[in-house]
Amino acid sequence: MSGFSTRAIRAASRVPPVEQRPTAVPIYQSVTFDARDAAELGEILSGSRPGYAYSRIDNPTTAALAAAVAELEGAEAGFAFATGMAAIHAALLSLVSAGDRIVATQAIYGSSRDLLTQILGRLGVATVFVDVTDLAAVEAALAAAPTRVLYVETISNPTIVVADLAALADLAHRHGASLVVDNTFASPYLCRPLELGADLVVHSATKYLGGHSDALAGVVVGSEEGIAAVRHVQVDTGGSASPLPAFLVLRGIATLGLRVARHSATAADLAAWLEARSGVQRVYYPGLAGHPQHAVARRQFGAAGAYGGMLAFELEGGRAAGAAFLDALEIPARTASLGSVHTMVVHPPSTTHRQLDAAALAEAGIAEGLLRCSVGLEDADDLRADFDRGLEAARRAVRDPAAGRA
């Protein structure tokens, strides 16, 4: 007869038999998995046999998330991570070593820029930034020296530049580089970069894939060979996805199409409305006919018939106007992130791109009065009324700077 503690541990760890298939992926909230014998455990840990042994290496729920995103992106394989930045880190490290060179879009998320310049740069990987809408400039940058990676964002953060992925893939491959695409802003509902020639696609699954601001996760998808290399980086650097966030992102993916369609419709409405408001210098939204890459966006996102939920706009009056606008809003929370059911408005120079000085901001095309808006699922009429309050506050701040500081 076993002692009490032995019986308690066994009783609490016994998995009940389930004959019926669950309609939701179970949360395998277990760090360890019991192999049949020592030989099986060794084979699983060495990768010579499929299975699970230790959740830092793999877990059924996180594997289900990776497989779901791979299927939506048209990829052979995928791997899930704790965050989008962990996914970007592993994707790049799977391709570069000290002495290698990366060409990257100058319209890029601030933390991605820091990863390239401060982290990989310190390890001997050089990065050159280029305007990816200037294909001649991209080709010149690729041709200037051997390049391992061309790194771009489908829709850039925060200036909503749309990359011509098919053209960029052709350039990258002609010069021996791999094309890595951050598809977070678009989601696979709008665009599937692998179909346009990309080699690896990364997502901050925290954003549109999850969609509810309640789970941190990232995913990389690509070929079996490419993901094997990505997985190797993750196993020894530890950016492991957890089962509960993976479950929550899977739940979000089920409604991704419905949500992105609604995000897009409201964003298009709000962008057109903002274009006609006084105090707004410029609106950046791919669905607007005046957007510099509207034709590219129409070609790449045409199957979805939508242009996404992300827009940006510049206010007259710079930082002061931006601060007054944000402080007057009642619907959006004063927070960062994007891709949620909640509308979120941020001032990139002081939040998402706070790492950049004035010169770097100007080089990236980020004006002092730029605001980035992730349009949520609230009613369009309510958002327009709220933004009207913000614009009036911004105009007052321009007319009377002292009042704006009060």
Mean pLDDT score of the chain, rounded to an integer? 94
Q: What is the mean pLDDT of residues 175-185?
A: 98
Cβ atoms within 10 A of the Cβ of 114, count?
17
**Active-site option among 28, 100, 109, 284:** 109
**Do 266 and 223 sit in the same domain of this protein?**
no
388 is catalytic: no
Q: Which of 71-80, 250-259, 394-403 has the lowest mean pLDDT?
A: 394-403
Q: Would you call 298 exposed, middle or buried from its count of C-beta atoms within 10 A (0-12, 13-18, 19+)?
A: middle
| Encoded tokens for 121 | 């740069």
User: Using one digit for the tens of pLDDT, what is the confidence trace for 263-320?
Assistant: 999 999 999 999 999 999 999 999 999 999 999 999 999 888 999 999 999 999 988 9
pTM score > 0.85 for this model?
yes
Residue 406 has pLDDT above 50, yes or no: no
**Do 181 and 295 sit in the same domain of this protein?**
no
SS3 49: coil
Q: What is the largest CA-CA distance in the chain?
A: 84
CATH, residue 382: 3.90.1150.10
**Do 50 and 108 sit in the same domain of this protein?**
yes
Cβ pair 392, 330 in contact under 8 A = no
pLDDT score recorded for residue 265: 98
Total of domains in the chain = 2
Cβ pair 56, 238 in contact under 8 A = yes
**Active-site option among 164, 182, 199, 386:** 182
pLDDT score recorded for residue 351: 65
Q: What is the mean pLDDT of residues 178-196?
A: 98
Residue at a domain's end among 194, 228, 253:
253
**Active-site option among 49, 54, 56, 269:** 56
**Do 136 and 247 sit in the same domain of this protein?**
yes
390 vs 239, 261, 282, 313, 350, CA distance in Å? 39, 26, 16, 13, 18
User: Using one digit for the tens of pLDDT, what is the confidence trace for 9-26?
Assistant: 999 999 999 999 999 999
Residue 404 has pLDDT above 80, yes or no: no
Q: What is the 3-state secondary structure (H, E, C) of 169-225?
A: HHHHHHCCCEEEEECCCCHHHHCCHHHHCCCEEEEECCCCCCCCCCCCCEEEEECHH
One-letter amino acid for residue 2 of the chain: S
User: Using one digit for the tens of pLDDT, what is the confidence trace for 114-171?
Assistant: 999 999 999 999 999 999 999 999 999 999 999 999 999 999 999 999 999 999 999 9
SS3 240: strand
What percentage of the chain's residues is helix, strand, coil (to nearest 5)? 45, 15, 40
52 is catalytic: no
Q: Which domain holds residue 376?
A: 257-405
Beta strands per DSSP E along 290-369: 310-315, 344-346
**Active-site option among 207, 231, 259, 262:** 207
Residue at a domain's end among 253, 283, 301:
253
**Do 230 and 274 sit in the same domain of this protein?**
no
Q: How many residues does the chain have?
A: 406
Terminal alpha carbon distance of the chain: 75
**Do 340 and 227 sit in the same domain of this protein?**
no
The answer to whether residue 29 is domain-embedded is: yes
109 is catalytic: yes
262 is catalytic: no
User: Using one digit for the tens of pLDDT, what is the confidence trace for 342-380?
Assistant: 999 998 877 666 666 677 767 767 778 899 999 999 999
Residue 405 has pLDDT above 60, yes or no: no
**Do 227 and 310 sit in the same domain of this protein?**
no
The answer to whether residue 118 is domain-embedded is: yes
The answer to whether residue 10 is domain-embedded is: no
**Do 312 and 396 sit in the same domain of this protein?**
yes
Q: Would you call 270 exposed, middle or buried from its count of C-beta atoms within 10 A (0-12, 13-18, 19+)?
A: buried
Angle 135-144/165-174 helices, nearest 10 degrees? 20
